[in-house]
Each structure stands twice: as C-alpha cells, then as structure tokens.
Structure 1
Amino acid sequence: MIRPFSLFSAVLVTCALAGTACQSESNTPDAEITATAVRTSPDSAALDQVKAGSFVIGFRGGFPALAEGRDDAAIAAIFTETCADIRSGTTENEAVSAVSDRLGEGGTQVGPQEAQAVYQMIAVMCQGQ
C-alpha cells in the first residue's frame, strides 16, 4: 500500500530533479526559444534521458513494491512509453490504462490509484517538451 507522504515525497524529488535538469545555462530568454528548436535540439534527447533517470529514482522510492523485480531500463521504458502517449495526445484515461498494463507486466498487481499516481508523475515530468 502506498503511504501518501511517501508518494508525495517521491513526486517532489522527481520533479525537483527534472526541474534542475531543465534549467538552461544560456542567457537567452525563454521567449526566444521556439518549440521547434526544443524538439529538434540534440539536447532534448539528453534531457529525456535525465528525466527518465529521475523518474526511475522517484518510482523506486515511491513505489517499492511495483519496482521490485524491475531493472532501471524497464522502469525507464514505462516513463518513455507513457510520455510518448501523452505527447501524441492520448487521453488521460487511455494513458492511465496503458500505465496500468505496463505496470502489470510480469504479474504485478496494480491498483487504480497506483496507476493514476504513476501517470501523474510522468505527466508532470513530460510537460513543457
């Protein structure tokens, strides 16, 4: 069972790590950076990897039972696949269902609240890309 404080802490840590990774060291105002430049920048792939790594840390801390038996690559795949769903315009209900399926691989029991919480972590981290 997920303790609310543990989940909240995991989400905060994950968001803080992702936010730190998103900070730019350039002096260019954000308004001058276009969405096209962000999508085509080679740094966006590196940023996705940083976010996936941050998600792995937050997921392991917030959902130890779901993380059990999964390696980092499997957890990162949950993030990248769900983030791709979000970016493609998948509805929240469909994305949560897909998260539940991904988490349930290997016979893991996943409750609807856990799937929703994992989806929310991913959705926050995918924003702004």
Structure 2
Amino acid sequence: MRRTSAAIAVSTALFALLVAGCSSDDKATDATSATSAAASPAAQPNGAAVPDSAKAGMFVVSYRSAFPKLADGRSDAQVADIFTGTCKDIKDGKAEDAVVQGIVERTKSGPATATKEEAQAIYTTAKYLC
C-alpha cells in the first residue's frame, strides 16, 4: 500500500507540474528561440545528453513530496544528481534491476537510504522524465 501511495503522489506532482508548465503565451520569436536553446539537453564530453533543468526541477519537486524522509538533509542539487545519474543509466541501456540498485546506491550518501520499493518508484518517475 505504501508503494502505491508513493507512486500516486509522484504521479500527481508530475501532472501538476506539467500542467503548470504548459502555456499558450505568444511571446516574441527571439524569446522563444532563446528558451528552446536553453531547454535543449547539453551534451557531456562522453556524448551522453544531460536532462534539462526543467525536468530535473520537476523530479526534485516530486521526489521531495513523495519521499520526504529521503529528501531530508539533501540539497536540490543532490536530488537532481540522483535524477541525472538514473537517466544516464537508463539511456545507457542498463537493465531495470541494475538501475533500481543504482538508485539505492546513490541514496546511501544521505541520511536515509531508499528501499527497493522506493527506488522502483523513483525509477518509474525518472524513466518518464528522461
């Protein structure tokens, strides 16, 4: 039951953020092109794409609301690093179980470590956003 509640909380937070991020503002084309360029993923030296900051921000908000014990004591940058590392693992084609185990390992550096069920919910959210 706890896993379902966490998944529902994550889904609700993501939906709210996605709806809030959608707008039909007709700004000048210069502003639109600048925003598009800023939102495109940056390439790392090894050629892997880094998720954009908007997606990382959505992940941070959903992570904090769904997993307050895991988020406690972690900065936004540390939570975003969990997302970035998870996205890299997913894009590298790692098996789901390996990615979930990687999430457990990444959360060991903080005050609380994710359970396998929490890591699975984090994986599902990250996979959707990557």
Aligned to 1:96: 100
The SS at the match of 1:101 is helix
Q: Secondary structure at the match of 1:109?
A: coil
Provide TM-score, normalisation by structure 2.
Answer: 0.71
Task: Give the count of matched residue pairs.
Answer: 112
Q: 2: distance between equivalents of 1:20 and 1:88?
A: 31
Q: Per-residue deviation at 1:10? A: 2.1
Q: Would you say the 8 A contact 1:60–1:67 is kept in 2?
A: yes
User: Residues of 2 paired with 1:24 and 1:95: CA distance?
Assistant: 36
Correspondence list, 1:1-129, <5 A: 2=2, 4-18=4-18, 43-45=39-41, 48-126=52-130
* Contact 1:10–1:58 (8 Å) recurs in 2: yes
Mapped to 2, the partners of 1:74 and 1:84 lie a distance apart of 15
- When the two structures are superposed, what TM-score results if normalisation uses the length of structure 1? 0.71
SS of 2:52's equivalent? helix
Q: Which structure 2 residue ranges, 5 or more long, are not aligned?
A: 26-36, 43-50
Name stretches of at least 5 consecutive residues in structure 1 with no aligned partner: 26-40
Deviation at residue 110 of structure 1 after TM alignment: 2.3
The amino acid across from 2:102 in the alignment is A
Distance 2:6 2:85 in 1: 24
**Superposed displacement of residue 69, structure 1:** 0.3
Report percent identity of matched pairs: 38
Matched-pair contact (CA < 8 Å) for 1:78–1:102:
yes
Task: Name the structure where helix makes up a greater proportion of residues.
Answer: 1
Task: Check the 8 A contact 1:82/1:98 in 2, yes or no.
Answer: yes
Cα RMSD over matched residues?
A: 2.9
State the AA in 1 paired with 2:40.
S
C-alpha offsets along residues 65-112 of structure 1, whole Å, 9 cap, x if unaligned? 000000000000100111011111111111111011011213523211
Displacement of 1:9: 2.4
